[in-house]
Amino acid sequence: MGRLLENSEIRFLLVDYYQIFYRYTETEIRILHLWDSRRNPDNLTILEQ
């Protein structure tokens, strides 16, 4: 589920006003960031771990 970010393995889902950024493997789903999409998108930073 979720859409892939460009040039990345990170996916995101849009739920109401929130975007949930995550990455998954066979054994886990790791949530990387929760973002209120009403905020300025220029301030969005996702740290890949």
Per-domain residue ranges of the chain = 3-43
Q: Token pair of 25, please?
A: 């493997």
In whole angstroms, give the CA distance from residue 28 to residue 24: 6
In this predicted model, what pLDDT tens digit does every residue of 1-49 receive, in sequence order?
Answer: 788 888 788 999 989 989 999 999 899 999 988 888 788 777 777 666 5
* pLDDT at position 47: 63
Q: What pTM was estimated for this model as a whole?
A: 0.73
Distance spanning both ends of the chain, measured CA to CA: 20
In whole angstroms, give the CA distance from residue 28 to residue 39: 29
